[in-house]
């Protein structure tokens, strides 16, 4: 018998055996699984952000999130991303998603401190935790659970959606050599960093990103913080201010948030819920990695090609800002029971991770920076 005939005979034999098995099941009155296709639903959602459209990293990561969700869902979930002021203002994201104007938002939790006093802990605290320390607290230290408790009354589900890493302190139109140079200085600096700046003698202003450049250029602002060299170069701040100060004591590891309308999210099939959550995790790491990779070259361009004056804040200024920060954060922790609960969790984790990193990250970086003989 030829090879092709043998294969044909074997296939025919298996078909007969399968047919007999199915017939037997039918005769025993056992149910036969239906092979009818399940009808799939398709969704078109809106995502609003606090960032200018296509701003590097902050603005482009939500676009990538939308793309990967569409791919993973095989086209069942399409998300249209809106930058600040395209659908709502950059500081209106929280309310708009809560009310269902859009199903998803991308922003920073500290913008909503006026509504929920404890939100800065889920973004960044002056002299607080770095990006990987903050992520570890959220994921394994109970932070995520506390975050959801705070947002639940507002019909929102918050998850991490990126991290800036240690930021720059910002752009100034004059040198800062002492605390005296901060007196009366008008600076765009939000949240707790702004309150510390106020107590140090400055005048903090909260302003959405899209308005900052013009304010700095026209003199309405004396200084501004934003993110780090990659974003700052794209925003063009180097054309409106001469001095660029570090370190970003006010935002040592700012978590960005992705917020979902809770009612809309929970109405989705479970697989799409999981795809959306997986997409936020990818965006979280993507944004941090992109900034780490791009900041180096952007800083070189700012200094070498645009003549930006890179300056480190004097140690005595940093020490005083640190002292004030401890007071501000401690006072905030006593605003209400909910905030006190978050603060206790955050502080316990920070204190422990600081102790560990003294013999880990800090010790290694110190060793790496030793001069070679």
pLDDT at 261 over 70: yes
Confidence class for position 25, pLDDT limits 50, 70, 90: very low
Looking up residue 120, the CATH number of its domain turns out to be: 3.40.190.170
Distance of CA 18 to the CA centre of its chain: 54
Higher per-residue confidence, 33 vs 152:
152
Q: Is residue 183 part of a domain?
A: no
Q: Is residue 16 part of a domain?
A: no
Q: Is residue 284 part of a domain?
A: yes
Residue whose pair of structure tokens reads 């398709």 in the numeric block: 42
What six digits make up the tokens of 293? Answer: 């990779």
Mean pLDDT within 209-226: 92
Q: Based on the structure, what is the number of domains in the chain?
A: 1
pLDDT at 221 over 90: yes
Mean pLDDT within 232-254: 95
pTM (2 d.p.): 0.84
- Rounded Cα distance between 57 and 307, Å, is 24
pLDDT at 16 over 80: no
Please give the pLDDT value at position 13: 39
Please give the pLDDT value at position 200: 97
Q: Is residue 66 part of a domain?
A: yes
Q: Is residue 180 part of a domain?
A: no
Mean pLDDT within 253-276: 97
Q: Is residue 188 part of a domain?
A: no
- Rounded Cα distance between 174 and 223, Å, is 9
Structural domain harbouring 286: 43-164+253-292
Confidence class for position 39, pLDDT limits 50, 70, 90: low
Confidence class for position 35, pLDDT limits 50, 70, 90: very low
Span 284-343, pLDDT tens digits = 999 999 999 999 999 999 999 999 999 999 999 999 999 999 999 999 999 999 999 999
- Rounded Cα distance between 217 and 222, Å, is 9
Span 167-184, pLDDT tens digits = 999 999 999 999 999 999
- Rounded Cα distance between 49 and 64, Å, is 13
- Rounded Cα distance between 124 and 140, Å, is 17
Average pLDDT, the chain: 90
Mean pLDDT within 275-284: 97
Mean pLDDT within 117-121: 96
Q: Is residue 24 part of a domain?
A: no
Mean pLDDT within 239-249: 96
Q: Is residue 356 part of a domain?
A: no
């Amino acid at each position: 018998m030829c090879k092709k005939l043998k294969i044909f005979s074997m296939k025919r034999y298996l078909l007969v055996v399968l047919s007999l098995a199915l017939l037997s099941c039918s005769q025993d009155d056992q149910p036969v699984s239906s092979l009818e296709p399940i009808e799939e639903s398709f969704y078109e959602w809106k995502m609003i952000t606090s960032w200018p459209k296509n701003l590097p990293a902050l603005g482009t990561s939500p676009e990538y999130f939308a793309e990967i969700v569409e791919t993973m869902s095989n086209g069942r979930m399409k998300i249209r991303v809106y930058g600040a002021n395209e659908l709502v203002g950059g500081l209106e994201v929280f309310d708009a998603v809560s009310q269902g104007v859009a199903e998803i938002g991308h922003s920073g939790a500290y913008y909503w401190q006026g509504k929920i006093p404890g939100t800065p802990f889920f973004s960044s605290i002056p002299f607080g935790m770095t990006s990987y320390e903050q992520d570890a607290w959220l994921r394994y230290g109970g932070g995520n659970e506390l975050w959801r408790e705070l947002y639940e009354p507002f019909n929102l589900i918050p998850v991490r959606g990126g991290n800036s890493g240690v930021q720059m302190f910002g752009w100034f139109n004059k040198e800062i050599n002492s605390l005296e140079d901060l007196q009366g200085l008008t600076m765009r600096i939000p949240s707790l960093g702004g309150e510390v700046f106020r107590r140090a003698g400055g005048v903090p202003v909260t302003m959405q990103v899209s308005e900052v450049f013009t304010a700095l250029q026209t003199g309405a602002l004396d200084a501004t913080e934003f993110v780090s060299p990659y974003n700052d170069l794209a925003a063009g701040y180097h054309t409106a201010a001469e001095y660029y100060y570090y370190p970003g004591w006010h935002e040592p590891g700012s978590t960005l948030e992705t917020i979902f309308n809770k009612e809309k999210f929970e109405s989705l099939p479970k697989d799409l819920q999981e795809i959306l959550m997986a997409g936020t995790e990818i965006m979280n790491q993507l944004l941090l990695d992109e900034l780490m990779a791009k900041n180096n070259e952007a800083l070189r361009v700012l200094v070498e090609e645009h003549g930006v004056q890179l300056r480190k804040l004097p140690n005595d200024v940093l020490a005083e800002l640190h002292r004030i920060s401890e007071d501000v954060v401690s006072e905030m922790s006593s605003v209400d029971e909910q905030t006190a609960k978050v603060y206790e969790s955050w502080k316990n984790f920070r204190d422990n991770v600081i102790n560990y990193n003294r013999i880990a990250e800090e010790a290694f970086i110190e060793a790496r920076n030793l001069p070679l003989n």
